[in-house]
Structure 1
Amino acid sequence: MDRLNPAVLISESHNGRAADSVDLNLPVKKTERMPFTIRIVADEESLQKAIEMRQMAYSRHLPDFARQMTIEIGDYAAGTAVLLAESKLDGGPLGTMRIQTNQFAPLAVEQSVELPDWLQGTRMAEATRLGVAGGVMGRMVKIGLCKALFLYCQQQQIDWMVITARTPLDREYEAMLFDDVFAKNQFLPMAHVGGLPHRVLAKPVAVARQRWAAVQHPLFQYVFETHHPDIDLSPVDLSFARETVGCLEASQIAQSS
């Protein structure tokens, strides 16, 4: 895949041409139900389900890292949403993703690398802590979470979606037209994911629809022309988290002293 020209994309997003191609009011061609729901975590019980899903997913490839996973301050940070996919059959967790915007703080990836000038000053969102169930259902949930990420970024008027991906998962994001932020296929150690080497990839929100249409992407209809009522990204009240955040902050202070 040819590397994007960031200057051109930024120019397009700001002069209005690209924005016209992503009209949020475009009619969808069909409505489709899924065997699971995706929503933003709004209570402790749901967050615990998301943590359980993270541990289960990460244990398949990074068991030592998975054993250390727990609720993190970042789960409650302003400008952050934790998504949870749940089975309609029994309410069990099937997948999760955390989305952090840079509205209130630098992205997690910026703990590890300095992002290039063409991303500075833009509205970004980083997807982290992705975990899904195994098998066919897990693949369906992953696609659903990726659509939810895009919809959330539209909702929040984000310019760039940013992710870090280890091999071989980086190829899945490349297939969804994410592009290298640094050199082609360059892997860098990431402090916020245990120091493991990851590619840093980005995707422009404003021109996503026209880019997917141009290459006749097999998921174009699913993402852009199908309404999924089971993806509910309504804003939530995170006041339930205040006590937990205080405990986490106190624990971190105690560990560092």
Structure 2
Amino acid sequence: MPGAASAARQVERLPFTVRVAHAAQDLQKAVDVRHAAYARHLPAAITQGLRSPEPMDHAPGVAVLLAESKVDGSALGTLRIQTNRYQPLALEQSFDLPDWMAGAPCAEVTRLAVAQAVHSRVVKTVMLKAAYFWCLREGVRFVLVAARTPLDRQYARLMFRDIYPGQGFVPLAYAFNLPHRVMYCQIATARDDGAEHPLYDFWFNTDHPDIDLD
């Protein structure tokens, strides 16, 4: 199994790119794939508001990532990262952070969405890798996610842990009051904690030039 002792770094090219959506048209592409993904699972009455950018998309301390096909430039996925540098995390409207986390540099990954495409699982994994390294660069200590089933199990496989073990799912105001499992990853220990993870080399020993976080 790949691990911390795996040797040389590798360079891997992807059939898509991941970058920060800076321009208005980039953000709209992210919004479109976001809305389409949510509309596949939720009623139109709930997802109607996702057809346009949300105020949080423009807030300071926020980055919206966009994955695009190299073939035709179509949007393949998106996620949003919000830090607590300028305002509390959206999660905190409905969820009290523990004392050991409150006041620390935190970021929350939200609005994760992928298009129905052959590379959707890879797109999701690469976007989460990009989010991790964006948070590392920004000095974030804890990365938080809130997920419904089965996405929560995917986060667990990426070694996210429950903030309050045994608490279960809690309704979140910004997520249509649907129950979510709230989990976290500690940036400083992620590399050591994941030393025996099958994605370790992909995450830490592989350079992906198609990820652009500037």
Give TM-score, length-normalised by structure 2.
0.93
The reply to whether residue 158 of structure 1 matches residue 140 of structure 2 is yes
SS in 2 for 1:119: coil
Q: Give the conservation status (yes or no) of the 8 Å contact 1:96–1:132.
A: yes
Measured in 2, the distance between the counterparts of 1:42 and 1:233 equals 11
CA deviation after TM superposition for structure 1 residue 122, in Å: 0.7
The equivalent residue for 2:101 is 119
Give the distance between the partners of 2:8 and 2:94, measured in 1 at CA.
40
User: What are the residue-to-residue correspondences of 1:140-155 with 2, within 5 Å?
Assistant: 140-155=122-137
User: Which of 84, 91, 95 matches 2:77?
Assistant: 95
Higher helix share: 1
CA contact (8 A) 1:152 1:233 kept: yes
| Alignment partner, residue 18 of structure 1 | none
Matches within 5 A, 1:7-46: 29-46=9-26
Instruction: Work out which of the residue numbers 177, 189, 197 in structure 1 matches 2:171.
Output: 189
Q: Alignment RMSD, CA only?
A: 1.4
1:23 paired residue number: none
Offset at residue 185 of structure 1 (A)? 5.6
Say whether the 8 Å CA contact 1:102–1:123 is kept in structure 2: yes
Partner residue in 2 for 1:233: 213
Structure 2 residue matching 1:50: 3-state secondary structure: helix
Quote the offset at 1:67 in angstroms. 2.4
Q: CA deviation at 1:172?
A: 0.3
Matched, 1:139 2:121: yes
Are residue 66 (structure 1) and residue 66 (structure 2) matched?
Answer: no
Deviations 1:55-113 (A, max 9, x none): 11111111322222121110011000000000000000000000000000000100111
SS at match of 1:62: coil
Residue 68 of structure 1 aligns with an amino acid whose one-letter code is G
**What is the letter of the counterpart of residue 40 of structure 2?**
R
Q: Percent identity?
A: 47
Secondary structure of residue in 2 paired with 1:67:
helix
Q: Which has the higher contact order (CA 8 A, sep 6+)?
A: 2
Which SS does the other structure have where 2:57 is aligned?
A: helix
- Conserved? CA contact 2:76–2:117, under 8 Å: no
Structure 1 stretches of 4+ moved >3 Å: none
1:134 aligns to what SS in structure 2? Answer: coil
2:36 maps to which of 34, 40, 56: 56
TM-score, normalised relative to structure 1: 0.78
The structure with more radius of gyration? 1
Secondary structure at the residue paired with 2:118? helix
Q: Using the alignment, how far apart are the partners of 1:63 and 1:223 within structure 2?
A: 35
Does structure 2 conserve the Cα–Cα contact (< 8 Å) formed by 1:125 and 1:153?
yes
- Which AA in structure 2 matches 1:109? L
> Residue 133 of structure 1: CA displacement?
1.4
Aligned to 2:4: none
Aligned residues: 207
Distance 1:105 1:28 in 2: 41
Cα shift at 1:140: 0.8
CA distance in 2, matches of 1:46, 1:165: 25
Selected match of 2:204 from 216, 220, 224: 224
